[in-house]
Amino acid sequence: MAQLSNQKILVTGATSQVALPLCRSLSVDNEVVGLGRFRKPEDEAALRKAGGDCLKFDLATGDPGRIPDDFDYVLNFAVVKSGNFAYDLAANAEGLGRLLSRCRNAKAVLHCSSAAVYEYAGHKPLTEDDALGDNHRNMFPTYSISKIVSESVARFAAAEWNLPTTIARLSVPYGNNGGWPWYHLMMMNGGHKIPVHPDSPSLFNPIHEDDYIAQVPLLLERASVPALTLNWGGESVSIEDWCAYLGQLTGIRPHFETTPTALGSVAMNLDRLHEQVGPTRVDWRDGIRRLVEARNPELLKGFAQL
């Protein structure tokens, strides 16, 4: 796998569940600066503990002149999903445009998009050329539209400023820092039903933090003009299956509630990802087990006998 060292790297959304482990890994051999609002003191402390510096900045309203223009790489993991369309589009799209204009001399950009950009298509493995749609409206009203629009901004920036860019549509990230399977475990432990779509099974492509951290350098290496767009995930697994496995690990039986308001499958075709950077390496069962070991080892009843 490609590596990054002695580089100055800007990471937006640096204290998120996805980006914080990445910052921790990158800061070992690089200068990492996290850009964000840092409204909670503990967020700033978490990033500094991970080895990064903090740049307080609101992408919706901030003056881009405050951002240094000498970064080698820009990793955009920021997403605002307040539900206010004006603010969220200003931050996720217009703010990204101003950021990339300021950092137009970077070697490459990784823009983290989402599988939420796709129109629901049942269990069909979606390619990068399939139809886009407002997939996550029931859960996050502005999310899918913001992601679609910000992809267009990233493509414009790549072409306008000859800025090599990769747009990676991330599926379900998880690991020791949490993720959707962990929220399902918390629901199971609290006695809550897990909502699932009537068109079962609910298929996604969860990707462990070890895998996405390892793939980031190659995603930057493959960045191009025009921008490269690819799906980013691991093996196809259903909510029903990973919750059942959580039940095996913990002895807590999952209970499901079938509802049309639940997110339906977003299964992705990963051929382009595998061609560009290779497959993921962490088996989803191993990743789920490690998640529980890291976050809730007290729930691993009888794990030694499994």
Question: pLDDT-based confidence at 302, cuts 50/70/90?
Answer: low
Predicted pLDDT of residue 3: 81
Query: What value does the mean pLDDT take over residues 81-105?
Result: 96
DSSP lists the bridge partners of residue 132 as 118
pLDDT of 140 over the 90 cut: no
State the pLDDT at residue 305: 43
Asked if residue 233 lies in contact with residue 268, where contact means CB atoms within 8 angstroms, the answer is yes
Please report the pLDDT score of residue 301 as a whole number. 75
Q: Above 60 in pLDDT, residue 303?
A: no
**% of the chain beyond a pLDDT of 90:** 94
Lateral strand order in the sheet of 53-56: 53-56, 31-36, 8-12, 73-76, 108-114, 165-170, 228-232
- Residue 289 pLDDT: 97
Q: Indicate whether 170 belongs to any domain.
A: yes
- Tell me the C-alpha to C-alpha distance, in Å, between residue 205 and each of 63, 105, 116, 235, 237: 37, 34, 12, 5, 6
**Mean of the pLDDT values across residues 186-191?**
97
Is 251 a member of any domain? no
Question: Model pTM?
Answer: 0.95
Which residues, listed in sequence order, are joined to residue 208 by a DSSP beta bridge?
A: 174
- What's the rounded Cα separation, in Å, for the pair 285 and 290? 9
The range of the structural domain enclosing residue 136 comes to: 8-178+206-237+266-282
Reply yes or no on whether the pLDDT at 237 is more than 60. Answer: yes
Percent of all residues in the chain with a pLDDT value above 70, rounded to a whole number: 98
* Dist. CA 192–CA 305, nearest whole Å: 27
**Which CATH number belongs to the domain containing residue 98 in this structure?**
3.40.50.720
Overall domain count for the chain: 1
- Whole-number Å distance between alpha carbons of 27 and 48: 10
Where does the pLDDT of residue 304 fall: very low under 50, low under 70, confident under 90, or very high at 90 and above?
very low
pLDDT for 168 equals 98
- Looking at the domain assignment, is residue 302 inside a domain? no
- Kindly report the average pLDDT of the chain as a whole number: 95
**pLDDT of 32-81, one tens digit each?**
999 999 988 899 999 999 999 999 999 999 999 999 999 999 999 999 99
- Identify the weakest region by mean pLDDT among 38-42, 124-128, 261-265, 276-280: 38-42
Does 247 reside within a domain? no
Q: Which residue has the tokens 């951290």?
A: 213
- Does residue 211 form part of some domain? yes
- What is the band of 306 on the pLDDT scale with cuts at 50, 70, 90? very low
